[in-house]
Amino acid sequence: MSEYRNLRSLTVLGLAVIGMSLSACGGGEGPPKPPPPAPAEYADKHMPDGYWNNPDILAEGKAIYTGQHNIDVNCASCHGKNGKPVKAGARDFRRAEQMELYSDSVWFWRVNEGVKGTKMKAWKSKLSEDEIWKVIAFESTFGLNGKEYDVAAKKWVAAGTAGSAPAEAPAAEAPATEAPAGDAAH
């Protein structure tokens, strides 16, 4: 009987120790896990031109993130001043291998609508779209500093190089010899 009880308490103790060591490393986040895809209505939401890694935009984003801009919006109170979470379960923005799995659209969707069943709430009632983009530009610097999201290539690339690959549509349409565009189509 008592042997059984000892075994049980030992198991409980063991589990507690494992739990503690898990939460000690990386804030409890396991291996990188892709976020769910953004709903269709977010597919066309992208970072405005010239925002990534723009010092003025980053300064505004930081003011939003830290609650200086609006005291009701303080991302740092959970995600930490430098992206190291201070509240359990908050996403760690310093983990590049995790944050690289977020497109700009997914990132926007999550900030706009929050993550149901978690402390991450929807911010759309407190922040304009423009403000959300600014705070995202700032947040990305914790783990993805010097990078920007390339929408066409669907990945993070060095700042200033996004979209440089597909010099696409305009070039193809360029040889418009006929002036009246309406007739040119057919």
Contacting residues toward ligand HEC, per CB under 6 A: 35, 73-75, 77-79, 87, 89-91, 107, 110-111, 115, 118-120, 123, 135, 139
Q: What is the smallest separation between the CB atom of 18 and ligand HEC, expressed in angstroms?
A: 21
Q: How far is the CB of 47 from ligand HEC (least distance, A)?
A: 13
- Kindly report each contact of residues 51-54 with a partner whose C-beta sits within 8 Å and lies 24 or more positions away, as own/partner: 51/133, 51/134, 51/137, 52/137, 52/140, 52/147, 52/148, 52/149, 52/159, 52/162, 53/137, 53/141, 53/146, 53/147, 53/148, 53/159, 53/160, 54/137
What is d(CA 158, CA 125) in angstroms, rounded to the nearest whole number? 33
Closer CB to ligand HEC, 123 or 149, in the complex = 123
Output 116 or 186, the one with its CB closest to ligand HEC. 116
Minimum Å distance from CB 27 to ligand HEC? 10
Looking at the Cβ atoms of 53 and 103, the one nearer to ligand HEC is 103
Choose between 63 and 115: whose C-beta lies nearer to ligand HEC.
115
CB of 139 to ligand HEC, least distance (A): 6
Distances 69 to 9, 93, 109, 116 between C-alpha atoms, Å? 50, 21, 21, 25
Nearest approach in angstroms of CB 185 to ligand HEC is 42
Residue number, 52 or 123, with CB nearest to ligand HEC? 123
CA-wise closest residue to 91 among 63, 114, 59: 114
